[in-house]
Amino acid sequence: MDISSEIAASADHVIEAFSRFDRRAYFDSFDPEATVAFYYSPNVMGIEEYQRLWDDWVNEGFEVLSCESSNRIIQVISNDIGLFVHDVHTEVTQAGGHKVLTERETIVLRKNQSGAWLVIHEHLSHPEL
C-alpha cells in the first residue's frame, strides 16, 4: 500500500469511528499529544481537553447519527506526515434537537514507530467563513 492509501485508510478509520459514535475507536485514532481546533471554540485544545468536552456534550444529549466525507484531498508531506482535507456532512442530536452540519476538516496524521498513522491535529472549519 502506498503512503496516500495508508493516509486515506487511517482517515477513513477516524471518520467511521466518529460516524458510529464509537468514542473509544475515535479517540484511539489520536496521538496522545494531538491538538484540535474548532471554529466555534476560542482556543486550540489538547486531546484530553477534547475528550472532556466530548463527554460534556454526551451528558447534554449529543449523539452522532451519521457522518459523510466528500471532496477529499490527500497530501503526502513526508514518509511519516500526511494531510487529509475533506468536506464533512454530519447529522447529530444535541440538547436542542436534530442538527445537520456542513463543515470542512483538515486532519494531520503522523506515522508512529509501530507503523500506525495517528491524528496529530484536527482542524474543523465552517466552509462559509
pTM of the shown model: 0.93
The reported pLDDT for the residue numbered 37 is 97
pLDDT digit string (tens) for 73-95?
999 999 999 999 999 999 999 88
pLDDT digit string (tens) for 21-42?
999 999 999 999 999 999 988 8
Q: Count other C-beta atoms under 10 Å from residue 100's C-beta.
A: 10
For residues 120 and 35, the answer to whether their CB atoms sit within 8 Å is yes
Confidence check: pLDDT of 128 > 80: no
